[in-house]
A and B are shown apart, each in its own frame.
Chain A
Amino acid sequence: MMASSYNAKEEDANHPGAANHAGAGVVKSKKPDNTAFKQQRLPAWQPILTAGTVLPAFFVIGLIFIPIGIGLYVTSNNIKEFEIDYTGANIDNPCYNCAKNFSWNSTAQCVCAVTFTLEQPFESNVFMYYGLSNFYQNHRRYVKSRDDSQLNGDRSALTNPSKECEPYRRSEGSPIAPCGAIANSLFNDTLQLYHIDSNGTLNEIPLVKKGIAWWTDKHVKFRNPGGNNNLTVAFQGTSKPVNWKKPVFELDPEDPENNGFINEDFIVWMRTAALPTFRKLYRIIQKKASTTPTLPSGKYVLNVTYNYPVLSFDGRKRMILSTISWMGGKNPFLGIAYITVGSICFFLGVVLLIIHHKYDNRNNSADIPN
């Protein structure tokens, strides 16, 4: 056999019996099995980037994104939002005095009234938020400083909180409930909203304080120890967090469903924010009748019981009133981003199309150098 007549395929075909032999048990051949996997011949789909797939993809993405973006943008724009800073950092702010004279020891409460005007009526349900800035609720040592077992009503954790809670674990010998830095720094300003009607009288706007926390948090993650019957007994032997004015079982003495660890203001606070600027749901203003707006345009007074000092760390406090859409609160970013990305895609598609037209010949006709 001449050397040049070698053909691998032929060789393979010439000896098909080897595997059969093994099967027949005559000779155990070492011939590898002829399976697609072992021979690396698994059936496969081999997509490659061609003009036929890439260009339409860009145009289609562009065409989809731009309308979505417009939709998002319009939705976001339709959301009414009002925001007012009541930190009292400036002298012209009504809360300046409260902020300035704040002391941990004083028992007297400092109240300040902030007036503002809504230019447009808020039609649907209005959500009232408090917003904090430069508040690093996501700091690692802060985030860690809690005991989920304790908050879940575990009795042993109640009397012996996790070490993570240090230095807010024990106070004067008795365990703190709820322990840790997060609980200790609970937001405790009280906000009240009054509408000033045309004749100058103040009408308090009813604020709903329930239904502001996640259902899972309220019903699974947070539980009072020993049932909800008598919280005073349940929390006996524990002491309140250092910065708190009243113990945990007095957070909402009127509603046992909203007291103790399952107090919704507390739960909302305990869900730490991801970013140093954040807002948290404070109250809901329910729409009453279908004909009148929830908050008609006009003058309002926000009464703040100023308990929460933020100036020491350059923080800011805001009160936000906002309506809601299917995509949540006001955030124009997504809409703008979608419009931008869609336009870029479309533009890129055009550029690529030009490039393709100019250079494609090169690709197709060019032979592979041998």
Chain B
Amino acid sequence: MGSVTSFFGGLCRKQVKIEEERLFRANDRPYNLSYQYANNAIRTSKYNVFTFLPLNLFEQFRRLANAYFMFLMVLQLIPQISSLSWFTTAVPLILVLSITAVKDASDDINRHTSDKQVNNRMVNVLIDGELKKEKWMNVQVGDIIKLENNQFVTADLMLLSSSEPLNLVYVETAELDGETNLKVKQALTVTGDLGDSTDLLAHFNGEVRCEPPNNRLDKFKGTLSLDGQTYSLDNDKVLLRGCTLRNTEWCFGLVIFGGPDTKLMQNSGKTTFKRTSIDHLMNVLVLCIFGFLASMCAILAIGSAIWEGVGAGLTSFLSFWSYVIILNTVVPISLYVSVEIIRLGNSFYIDWDRKMYYPKNDTPAHARTTTLNEELGQIKYIFSDKTGTLTQNIMAFNKCTINGKAYGELFDFSGQRVEITEKTERLDFSWNQLADPKFIFHDHSLLETVKEGNPEAQDFFRLLALCHTVMPEEKNEGELYYQAQSPDEGALVTAARNFGFVFRSRTPESITAMEMGKQVTYELLAVLDFNNVRKRMSVIVRSPEGKLTLYCKGADTIIYERLHPSCNKLKEVTTRHLNEYAGDGLRTLVLAYKDLDEDYMDKWRKRHHEASTAMDGREEMLDELYEEIEKDLQLLGATAVEDKLQDGVPQTIEQLAKADIKIWVLTGDKQETAENIGYSCNMLREEMKEIFVVAANTPEGVKEELVNARKKMCPESADEPSVISSRAGLFWLQKIERVEDEKVEGEYGLVINGHSLAFALEKDLHLELLRTACMCQTVICCRVTPLQKAQVVQLVKKYKQAITLAIGDGANDVSMIKAAHIGVGISGQEGMQAVLSSDYSFAQFRYLQRLLLVHGRWSYLRMCKFLQYFFYKNFTFTFVHFWYAFFCGFSAQTVYDEWFITLYNLVYTSLPVLGMSLFDQDVNDRWSSQYPQLYTPGQLNLYFSKKMFVRCMLHSCYSSLILFFIPWAAMYDTVRDDGKDIADYQSFALLAQTCLLIVMSVQLCLDTFYWTAVNQFFVWGSLASYFAITLTMYSNGMFLIFTSYFPFIGTARNSLTQPNVWLTIFLTSLLCILPVVAYRFIVLQLRPTVNDKVRHKLRKEALPAPAPRRPPTRRISTRRSGYAFSHAQGYGDLVTSRRFLLRLPLKSRPALFSQTDSPLAQNQPQHYRTIAEGQEDAQSP
């Protein structure tokens, strides 16, 4: 019954006006039905059995090409016009239509099955006071449903009650926004009290008034009216379809939006259809060709009028259309089909590539879009996310310096640095039962030092174990899990843990740690929290012995100012080490401590208490207090944490830079972190002349900084950007503005933060930003929101007319991935959202090199070669008709046999050209990577452009002249060697078409760089099939059976035995080919391209050895990293808050502390607090 109502609902819904507000009552189906809201059935399929044929055909004929061929076919049915039989167009058209139809049908069948499967999932629905199993598709708005753990959320629900305390539920939203961490939702208390009592729930009659269906995942507004009271509803009370219920036994929810109205479905669908620049060029060219076709036909029609003499208006009109039919082969239907096949083939190569397969999580590369391949060979700008894309989002405690001694590096006997690889022996931490098995360290001396009881080393790790805001979780004895707010902190605490200082548990007043196997509990007196200005954090603890100590860790510059003068010597040594670490791109932190005396501490605590309870100026007072106590510190040492890059990132970036691709990093991270990564992956280099940092807070400031930077790079650059306006696209309707590149001496870098970026993206500054940024070698944008990421991409896309690629792994990269010409998703840890909206996906950033430099380059090369050859082949074919028109009274007589016209594109020339465009490679993959500069022709559009097209046309013009006039001259008034006819129409047709086909085959051979057996087979096979088919069609049998279709009987036998026919064929082929060879040879000699040079080199040399392993270069850096934690303020309060601890045993979700660089995720801590504090607030009406 449900489906019936939904059917009618579906019908009626079309008439219903746009919903402005949604109003419904719980448990009141008849009332809710009156609004005709969509039920929960979804339909993503397009057709059913009956509508398939008409709808699909309609869809297909909406494509211009198909409609055009249909029109041609209709023309051919008019006998006065028809210069060709109907089958010349019908056969290809039907073939194309049916292939597409089969593909569409199979796609739709898949969608049907998945719809069916989803619609038939079962869920518990409360009907008439009873829980009944019901299919998903029968769920209605206003129904109350019960969800159990790990179930998918059926529809968009308002949470009523849950099994968990405080009516909390945990959901995983991976399918929606890609984040794998759990999110917390909480029901209103008034509904939470309903519990799981079906009675109460069945009598729940709240009325919900809320916003109409929309696609905003992060917003919801509505009210619940219950017993005369109104409660407000927000996003926290709503479970969205697509989420999964986790760690929650059960929950009840009220259906708000069903099926097509859910936010999930509203978000899916309208995917923007990306087209490549070659597509656009092809459209323009096809249009030009049509214009050209029309003018050719007009010329011939005029010719016909003159030839026919007076009163030939009608004849010449008919002749115009006849020529439209004959000359339409300039744009054959097979062009589009072949282009699709080539792209598909190249996509498969990407899927099949073992060198882009990541064995660790069994992920092959995947081309999700099969229509963009050649654009991979034209990328000019890459926009990359940082976390999870360049980095693994894993922090590793890598090195440290304790009391002037550096640890963490290995040296051989001669004192040379030894490179650490996976095979290097790791430290054995098995003596420590609480050690984290995943922790890796190589330097034995550190462990020995600690075990020997070196006090500084012990203090060092004690500090790491105590001074932090990490939350421990010990599910089973000895199984410790740390919930660190930032991965750096987690890495440091884990390091301390493995070296014998295990942080075990905390209360607001104490921290318990295992120190070398001994349990010690420290009294936690104060946490001097981190913030952006302080760039440090401290804790004050009292040891069991009663010793008061302040432990502080922070950015080197900050701590150094606060050190006791007695540490000066140590400071120098440490500074040297810090410089080395910074040079290696490690994130450093300096550790210091200070012993405090009891009296001072007492006073300080009192003042601290006063300050923290003060009504105004609390922050300033606290800062002052902290400043006062954090001085005269004793330096302990420094840590160096590696933000682990993914494998091969620096090399990949280097290679891509050599290919003249500019890489911009757009990250949500802090400036320091981003800069750090910039250095460690070789994007920012010490040799750069200058690295500009734009971090102003006003539009004027931003402008000034940008202009200054630009003037420094290029003093003579004009004040006003030179915007070149032009028109392009179909019908030249599209306005194009482009900003020219400006020449810059030397390399520069630009770092711009989110605030400044917001101003710089405004209308009046964006060109300024673009000019400055494009002058720099490297651009890093930090603290960028997803929207800004997309804006930056669009800015470059719009004004540079360059092909852009965006690569990312998280939900925050989706906008950028969709905005760029090509989106690449890293199938990594942050969920699947980026992958789902991407065009290509793979597991590691380094595969980008292969995707672009090998697959992209090949695809581009192949596509361009294909188009060049294809246009050449068809233009030549067609022009011959044009020349013949002058010898046949402009009567639209064809030069070739009709069957040849039908089969030329379909059979005789299709496979060889496909073979070339599927297998061709100028140089193999190794050489492609060896010489990244081979990539640049693609960026400059050198292989196929309007210029190339014109050249192609001139070439075919020449060839067609040869192809027509040589046979013409050779056959003029000639007879066979027995005196009989050979200059007849049929023999001439055979001669012309044989010449044409042989010339085309030879030309193809000349264009092919890479001759596989398949190519050989296709070329020879096509020629052989031509002769076989021709002989068959011209045979007695065919004529006697289908007399009127095969009138060429005997032509092949009679004319192919003549020596002068073969001499003509030979002459024609040579005349077509020789100039090409000579031209190419001269160009090769005079102006060889990089490509030619490499190909020459390749002949002489063996494969290049893989790039030699370079030992990690050590840069001596004077640059120090700041407190590079992706830390947020406020955690100090949290760990010392009572309320927090009350909640702690309840559930400590990973979600609460998981860290991502997405701004979405950054509000999680606050989110958490709203729940904690919101217990009273949320219920107030």
Contacts and interface: CB of A to CB of B under 8 A. Distances in A.
Interface of A: 1-9, 11-12, 14-15, 18, 29-34, 38-51, 54, 57-58, 61, 68, 72, 125, 127, 129, 131, 136-143, 147-149, 152, 154, 162-163, 212-217, 220-221, 268, 271-281, 284, 322, 324-329, 331, 333-334, 337-338, 341, 345, 348, 352, 355-356, 359-360, 362-364, 366, 368-370
Given A29-B362, A275-B968, 18 more contacts: A4-B1110, A7-B1106, A8-B355, A48-B1092, A129-B975, A138-B888, A148-B1039, A148-B1047, A214-B980, A216-B1049, A216-B1050, A220-B1039, A220-B1050, A276-B888, A281-B975, A328-B977, A355-B1086, A363-B1088
B53 interface: no
The secondary-structure label for the interface of chain A is mixed
B352 A369 contact: no
Contacts of A274: 971, 983-985, 987-989
B1095 A48 contact: yes
Nearest to A29: B362
Given A32-B351, A44-B1012, A324-B975, A273 B1039 contact: no
Contact of A272 (B984, B1058, B1063, B1080): B984
B73 interface: no
Given A152-B1043, A216-B1053, A40 B980 contact: no
Nearest to B854: A40
Interface residues of B, number: 113
Given A140-B891, A368-B931, A326 B1085 contact: no
A275 B1063 CA distance: 20
Contact of B972 (A33, A275, A280, A370): A275
Given A12-B354, A138-B893, A368-B931, A47 B981 contact: no
A40 B893 contact: no
**Residue in B987, B1049, B1106 with the greatest tally of chain A CB atoms within 10 Å:** B1049
Contacts of B1129: none
Nearest to A17: B359
A324 B1060 CA distance: 13
A48 B1109 contact: no
Contacts of B888: 136, 138-140, 276
Interface in B1035-1087: 1036, 1039-1040, 1043-1044, 1047, 1049-1050, 1053-1054, 1058-1060, 1063-1064, 1067, 1070-1071, 1074, 1077-1078, 1080-1082, 1084-1086
Nearest 8 pairs between A and B by C-beta? Answer: A216-B1050, A274-B988, A6-B648, A140-B891, A38-B352, A127-B979, A140-B893, A329-B975
B1074 A18 contact: no
A74 B1084 CA distance: 39
Contact of A327 (B1060, B1077, B1086, B1097): B1060
A240 B977 CA distance: 35
B983 to A, nearest CB: 6
Given A3-B647, A49-B1077, A328-B1060, A279 B354 contact: no
A147 B924 CA distance: 58
B984 to A, nearest CB: 4
Interface string B1007-1044: 00111111100000000000000000000100110011
A271 B1074 contact: no
Interface of B: 79, 83, 322, 349, 351-355, 357, 359, 362-364, 419-422, 644-651, 658, 846, 858, 887-889, 891-893, 919, 921, 924-925, 931, 933, 966, 968-989, 1009-1015, 1036, 1039-1040, 1043-1044, 1047, 1049-1050, 1053-1054, 1058-1060, 1063-1064, 1067, 1070-1071, 1074, 1077-1078, 1080-1082, 1084-1086, 1088, 1090, 1092-1099, 1106, 1109-1112
B1050 A331 contact: no
Nearest to B849: A8
A273 B1012 CA distance: 43
B349 A40 contact: yes
Contacts of A331: 970, 972-974, 1060
B1059 A271 contact: no
Contacts of A39: 352-355
A338 B354 CA distance: 53
A278 B1082 CA distance: 42
A148 B986 CA distance: 14
B1060 A48 contact: no
B1036 A44 contact: no
A33 B352 CA distance: 7
B651 A221 contact: no
6 contacts: A68-B1063, A138-B891, A278-B973, A328-B1060, A352-B1082, A369-B1090
Contacts of B1082: 352, 355
Contact of A140 (B83, B971, B1011, B1106): B83
Contacts of B1047: 148
Contacts of A43: 1012-1013
B359 A15 contact: yes
A280 B925 contact: no
A352 B1081 contact: yes
Nearest to B1043: A149
Contact of B981 (A148, A214, A352): A214
A331 B83 CA distance: 32
